[in-house]
Amino acid sequence: MDKLLFTPGPLTTSMSVKEAMLHDYGSRDLFFINLVKEIRESLLTLGQVSKESGYEAVIMQGSGTFGVESVISSVIPQKGNLLILINGAYGERIARIAAIHKIPYQSLVFEENSVPDLEQTEELLSTGEFTHVVIVHCETTTGIFNPIESFGTLCKKYGVQYIVDSMSAFGAVPLDIAANHIDFLISSSNKCIEGVPGFSFILAKKQKLIACKGQADTLVLDLYAQWQGLENDGQFRFTPPVHALLAFKQALVEIETEGGVAGRSKRYQENFQVLKKGMAELGFSEYLTPELQGYIINTYHYPSHASFDFTIFYQKLNSRGFVIYPGKLSKANCFRIGNIGRIFPSDVENLLNAIKEVRLEMGF
Ligand SMILES: *Cc1c(COP(=O)(O)O)cnc(C)c1O
């Protein structure tokens, strides 16, 4: 038995998703080309949009960050100006990408245990100096849910383009891309859709995507060129992640069977409730206040007891078959437990029992 992953990704996948990879296809195979087409259509459906309503799905090889870098390096023109709303490590990463590509940008940084402030953002947007805004949907650093709907309304009001890193939320948090005025949304194969790692994908407003032509300062991450490649002959410009796509197609069948985004969201919320209750009973305290805590991943303070050592705690759980995740916070000593992937409330119960055992053993 593989260990269960209670992490932000890569995640535990179903046996059927893994088995879907037991085939080889050439990149020009008609079956494979059709598979890519179907996946792109399904992704739009999950975002409640379609080609007919003016949206496009682009698949980009690499992990999630490749998708983020593709968008940031392709979408903002040299005479543009990007406002980056930051309340965690993934927002910080976007600022690093913008800096590396010498994209004009300004960061607005908030505490990791708070959501970006609407009024401060509006103040900046009302100066007319910005052309694009980017925000992280679920900031996986803490598990906080950022109010992307309110920021979408703001972007619409000031006529700026809106980019959302929905890596750890897409597929498990109901979202209407068009209603929230999102121009570019980024997610990846190995998060809430429960595929294996290998690619990211971008859901884009077609009209805004067309405007990106010739803007990218990279060859492989050029979003427009990647889209054109897929549109022209249905093929990837460079070697496609064939097996990851085969797995993803099966993962899409399984999310559908579970009741789509609503069904997936329901199971993750059940995992979250079981974890939240159990951890409180075991005496762990949450880093975020309950109203900010999303159901994707939970952050807990280290117990203050002298006998607690995270490395030992982690290893003892690991040897029992449960993989949790270290913290990534700049100011507090925390660890994280994810509720996503092919895990069920009974798995969370088993994790809690293991934590109880380890707590006794370590004496905290
Ligand atoms: C997982 C994640 C990413 C991408 O990380 P990769 O390691 O490149 O897959 C980006 N943003 C958020 C919010 C994430 O959770």
pLDDT band at residue 329 using 50, 70 and 90 as cut-offs = confident
Does pLDDT of 247 surpass 90? Answer: yes
> Above 90 in pLDDT, residue 33?
yes
Q: How far is CA 86 from CA 93, 136, 144, 218, in A?
A: 9, 8, 12, 25
Whether the per-residue pLDDT at 331 is higher than 90: the answer is: no
Position 286 scores a pLDDT of 97
**Mean per-residue pLDDT over the chain, rounded:** 97
| Residue 1 confidence (pLDDT) | 85
- Domain residue ranges in the chain: 24-257, 260-362
Q: What is the pLDDT of residues 122-181, one digit of tens each?
A: 999 999 999 999 999 999 999 999 999 999 999 999 999 999 999 999 999 999 999 999
Strands 161-165 and 184-188: parallel
Contact call for residues 349 and 274 (beta carbons, < 8 A): yes
321-326: Cβ within 8 A, 24+ apart: 321/1, 321/3, 321/4, 321/354, 322/3, 322/4, 322/6, 322/350, 322/351, 322/354, 323/3, 323/4, 323/5, 323/6, 323/7, 324/6, 324/7, 324/351, 325/6, 325/7, 325/8, 325/297
Q: Which amino acid is at 293?
A: Q
- 7, 11, 60, 63, best to mutate for ligand 1 pocket (most atoms within 8 Å of CB): 63
Mean pLDDT (whole number) for 52-58:
98
How many angstroms does the Cα of residue 338 sit away from the middle of ligand 1?
14
Task: Give the type of residue at 76.
Answer: I
Q: For residue 332, is pLDDT > 90?
A: no
Q: Percentage of the chain with pLDDT > 70?
A: 100
Q: Out of 5, 188, 194, 340, give the residue to mutate to test ligand 1, the one with the largest number of ligand atoms within 8 Å of its CB.
A: 188
Please report the atom of ligand 1 found closest to the CA of residue 168.
15
How many A from CA of 140 to the centre of ligand 1?
8
CB atoms within 10 A of CB 151: 25
Supply the pLDDT for residue 264.
98
Asked if 195 and 17 count as a contact pair (C-beta separation under 8 A), the reply is yes
Q: With 90 as the cut, is the pLDDT of residue 207 above it?
A: yes
User: What's the rounded mean pLDDT across residues 235-254?
Assistant: 98
Answer whether 144 contacts ligand 1 (Cβ < 6 A).
Answer: no
SS3 label, residue 214: coil
Kindly state the average pLDDT of the residues 34-46. 98
* pLDDT of 91 higher than 90: yes
In short, whether 195's Cβ falls inside 6 Å of ligand 1 is no
Q: Is the pLDDT of residue 240 over 90?
A: yes
Q: Which two tokens stand for residue 347?
A: 């798995």
Q: What is the mean pLDDT of residues 39-60?
A: 98
What DSSP assignment string belongs to 248-272? HHHHHHHHHHTTHHHHHHHHHHHHH
pTM score: 0.98
CATH code: domain 24-257 is: 3.40.640.10
Q: Is the pLDDT of residue 330 over 90?
A: no
CATH of domain 260-362: 3.90.1150.10
The atom number, within ligand 1, closest to the CA of 62 reads 8
Q: Which band of pLDDT confidence, cut at 50, 70 and 90, is reported for residue 341?
A: very high
- pLDDT attached to residue 76: 98
- Distances from the Cα of 70 to the Cαs of 159, 216, 245, 285, in angstroms? 22, 8, 19, 38
